[in-house]
Amino acid sequence: METITFRCDNTKCHQTLKVKQALAGKKIKCPTCGHKMVVPQKASPEVPAEPEKVVANVSAPAPTLPASPAPLRAKRHQYGIFCPKCMGLLLPPVKDVKHITCHLCGAQIELV
């Protein structure tokens, strides 16, 4: 049984198809993408590989991230620290700690 091997001509699919010789010249539907096409009269001598993707060789500047905002400042109190952003009460950290993150709003706080 002779078969014809070719690729789907849908630019987004390119699925390799193998059909019976009797379907040459007839319309078929690609089982992968549903694209309708005509079966070629004979198999391609060599089924082409996947199409090459064009990659621009241009060196673009690296995307820059927005600068992180300066940390908010808060004073140590007897009962803890009040977050200047959400006014949440935070437990007093160890005395050597200079920066903390509010667990309620995520604000970066510099201890003064």
DSSP for 12-78? TT--EEEEEGGGTTSEEE-TTT--EEEPPSS--SS---SPPPP-----PPPPPPPPPPPPEEE---S
This prediction has a pTM of 0.39
Q: Does residue 65 belong to any structural domain of this protein?
A: no
pLDDT of residue 54: 46
Residue 48 has pLDDT above 60, yes or no: no
Asked if residue 53 is part of any domain, the answer here is no
How many structural domains comprise the chain? 2
In this structure, the number of other CB atoms found within 10 A of the CB of residue 21 comes to 13
41 bridge partner residues: none
Residue 42 has pLDDT above 70, yes or no: yes
In angstroms, what CA-CA distances link 73 with 93, 96, 105?
A: 14, 16, 15
The predicted pLDDT at position 72 comes to: 76
* 44 falls within a domain: no
Domain extent, residue 20, equals: 3-38
**Confidence band of 53 (pLDDT split at 50, 70, 90):** very low
For residue 54, tell me if it sits in a domain.
no
pLDDT, mean of residues 52-72: 58
pLDDT for 82? 81
Of 88, 92, 60, 56, which is closest to residue 75 (Cα–Cα)? 92
Q: Summarize pLDDT for 4-39 with one digit per residue, the tens.
A: 888 888 888 888 898 888 888 999 999 989 999 999
pLDDT confidence of residue 66? 63
Residue 98 in any domain: the answer is yes
Is position 66 within any domain? no
Let me know if residue 96 belongs to a domain: yes
